[in-house]
Amino acid sequence: ETMRAHVVVLAGIVLIGLAASLAHAVQAHGVYIASDPPANGILAQPPTSIAVTFSEAVQPGTPSIRVTNSSGQQVRSGPAAVSTSDPRAITATLDRISPGVYTVTWGVVSAVDGHFSAGSFSFALQNPDGSLPGPLPGATGVVPASISTLEVAFRFLTFIGLATALGTVAFFLFAWLPAEALVDSELRPMDAHRQGYRALARWAGIGALALCAGAGGTWLSTLALRPPSTISDAVGSPFLASAAARLAFGVGLVILLSSALVRSPDRKAFAWSPFRLRTAGALAVAAIVAGSLGTHSAAAEAWWPLGPLADSAHLLGVSLWVGGLLAIFRVRRWLRANESQAFAADVLLRFSRLAFYSVGLILVAGVLLSLILVGSLESLVGTPYGWVILAKISLFAPMVALGASNRRRSVPAMSGPEGPAPSAPAVTRSVR
């Protein structure tokens, strides 16, 4: 029964985490907007430079521009660089060219999401008599950015680690400790309580380690696309800076949460004070905000600062709810014990209230994010990102249904005339 429970929870974590990770991985990348010369433009005079503008800022040190003639021979041009006047544009000087049809192939890494994009367009330089030297190939071509399995894995670790760490800390701060203060010690065996405390501390620490692994892996794998030439280039874009900040906050969380496993001098209690709890929660929230500043929601200038605020609120709600559910799963053996049912009932009642507000936050912020990142019903059903949003909803809906059933039936029964005994184990089974 225990093995089956772990398999079910692991499968659920993977499904939810992959859906969240893929939602970030397939968000709309920085796309081609305009160029000079324009795509399929016909010029009377040879250009002296090439400029390409994108929908999002380009990571410095990553752009490339290659110009070839109709025979495939490369035309001499200067190195590509991000424009000093517009971070969304890249430029390169071009040697004098003769009449002909030319193809410009570009490649960039987005400063917003760290994804590589590439594409090409063509232009023609007229003959002296005004005639075309050859046919133009057609519309602008863009090479779709592939989704790296490694990137999805790192994003999964970041998401599930952050949710586990923050959700467990919030569960401890808003449910476990207040219940401990109100329930008579005779109804709450101290040995079992201390074991549950230690299990939660380890659980949160594992989450913090996963956050470090995910954020660090994301940061390093992005740098590997184009190794930085200076130290400042390692945080030279919003995406790189947010990944590095998440890693730093994760390291702080690991150090702080490890102190929860250190006993006090009298060997009867542990050294995790409410102050440490609040500090750990603040570090986790800071990691959420830092991550939101390196997303497409932050790059949507028309929605600033509403975009990153909605993204932060959405992930905060998910972390409190999903992470709290995982914390309940971790300590279910102590919550289901017959001798601690009064304590378990108080813990679950308090978490139920926290979960109710968390789900409301998820819904409100999620709708706003959909408006910012999807924009229309056509995009919802006509783009990969839209379909991943629909997949997330299909996983979210049954979770909400189970939670609503618990809140309407099992949770109120804990304070009913029959007492908590019949209901607390039912709730932990539903959480599983």
Q: What is the DSSP string of 43-83?
A: ESS--SEEEEEESSPBPTT--EEEEE-TTSPEEPBPPPEE-
- What mean pLDDT, rounded, does the chain reach? 81
With 70 as the cut, is the pLDDT of residue 393 above it? yes
DSSP for residue 244: H
Q: In this model, does residue 247 exceed pLDDT 90? A: yes
Q: What local confidence, expressed as pLDDT, does residue 272 receive?
A: 61
pLDDT at 107: 86
When pLDDT is averaged across residues 77-98 and rounded to a whole number, the result is: 91
Determine whether 72 is exposed, middle or buried from the number of CB atoms within 10 Å of its CB (0-12, 13-18, 19+): exposed
What is the rounded average pLDDT of the residues 221-243? 80
Longest dimension (CA), the chain: 100
pTM (two decimals)? 0.75
Residue 154 has pLDDT above 90, yes or no: yes
The average pLDDT across 299-317 equals 87
Q: Stretch 166-194: mean pLDDT, rounded?
A: 75
Question: Between residues 137 and 26, which one has the greater pLDDT?
Answer: 137
Q: Reply yes or no on whether the pLDDT at 183 is more than 70.
A: no
- Reported as a pLDDT band with limits 50, 70 and 90, residue 80 is very high
Kindly state the DSSP code that residue 88 receives in the 8-state scheme: T
pLDDT at 29: 55
More confident residue, 269 or 241: 241
pLDDT bracket for residue 22 (50, 70, 90): very low
59 with 240: CB under 8 angstroms? yes
Band of pLDDT at residue 27, cut at 50, 70 and 90: very low
Least confident window among 56-70, 123-137, 233-247, 410-424 = 410-424
- Whether 266 has a pLDDT exceeding 70, the answer reads no
How do residues 346-371 score in pLDDT, each as one tens digit?
888 899 899 999 999 998 998 888 88
For residues 299 and 90, the model is more confident at: 90
**All residues at 6 or more sequence positions from 420 whose CB lies less than 8 Å from its CB, including other chains:** 341, 342, 344, 345, 414
Q: Give strand pairing partners of 230.
A: none
Question: For the chain, give me the number of helices (H) and strands (E)?
Answer: 14, 10
Model pLDDT, residue 412: 66
pLDDT at 429: 79
- Mean predicted confidence (pLDDT) in 197-213: 92
User: Which amino acid is present at 34?
Assistant: A
Residue position matching structure tokens 């590997």: 224
Residue 338 in this model has a pLDDT that exceeds 70: no
The answer to whether 273 and 96 have CB atoms below 8 angstroms apart is: no
Place of tokens 């049954």: 398
Residue 1 is predicted with a pLDDT of: 47
Average pLDDT for 137-146: 60
Average pLDDT over residues 400-420: 69
